[in-house]
């Protein structure tokens, strides 16, 4: 099955099995390995990408669902410089193992796109369901608050 969609701002066409998921198409066919496999059933959030600007779990998104739409992965979040969230992640030393971090950042980016000035409760609520096996949740929230406050000043 051939499917065309925008990936990180560029038109792509892939040939996959009809039951292929976006996650494995990204990783295996398109070599975009920043999106991680975590659970395969939409419970951990490691595979979070944006579909038309909304955070979705790539492990349960069929490739047919993205036809004609726009997908953004962690590789496409920022063009030349780091995204403010990526900068905040580094400043706050968020990652330990780093495995969930692309999903965390993509989930957080969707939040800041919809709500540039979220309060702590809104951050925690929005990030609920994106699991961090290392338990760096406090640093994740602090990084999101930092990125939001910096974008406020710009």
List pLDDT tens digits, range 9-40.
Answer: 999 999 999 899 999 999 999 999 999 999 99
58: exposed, middle or buried (Cβ count in 10 Å: 0-12, 13-18, 19+): buried
Q: Where are the domains of the chain?
A: 2-76, 84-153
64-90 tens-digit pLDDT: 999 999 999 999 999 889 999 999 999
Band of pLDDT at residue 154, cut at 50, 70 and 90: low
In this chain, the answer to whether the domains covering 2-76 and 84-153 adopt an identical fold is no
| Residue 64 Cα to chain centre, angstroms | 19
Say what the pLDDT of residue 21 is.
Answer: 98
Region 2-76: CATH code: 3.10.20.30
Top CATH class, 84-153: mainly alpha
CA distance 4 to 130: 28
């Amino acid at each position: 099955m051939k499917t065309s969609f925008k990936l990180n701002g560029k038109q792509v066409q892939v040939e996959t099995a009809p039951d292929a998921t976006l996650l494995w198409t990204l990783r295996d066919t398109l070599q975009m390995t920043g999106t991680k496999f975590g659970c395969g059933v939409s419970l951990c959030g490691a595979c979070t990408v944006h579909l038309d600007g909304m955070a979705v779990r790539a492990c349960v998104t069929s490739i047919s669902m993205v036809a004609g739409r726009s997908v953004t992965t962690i590789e496409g979040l920022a063009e030349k410089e780091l995204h403010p969230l990526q900068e905040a992640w580094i400043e706050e030393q968020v990652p330990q193992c780093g495995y969930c971090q692309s999903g965390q950042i993509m989930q957080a980016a969707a939040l800041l796109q919809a709500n540039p000035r979220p309060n702590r409760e809104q951050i925690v609520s929005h990030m609920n369901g994106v699991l961090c096996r290392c338990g760096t949740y406090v640093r994740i929230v602090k990084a999101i608050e930092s990125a939001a406050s910096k974008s406020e000043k710009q």
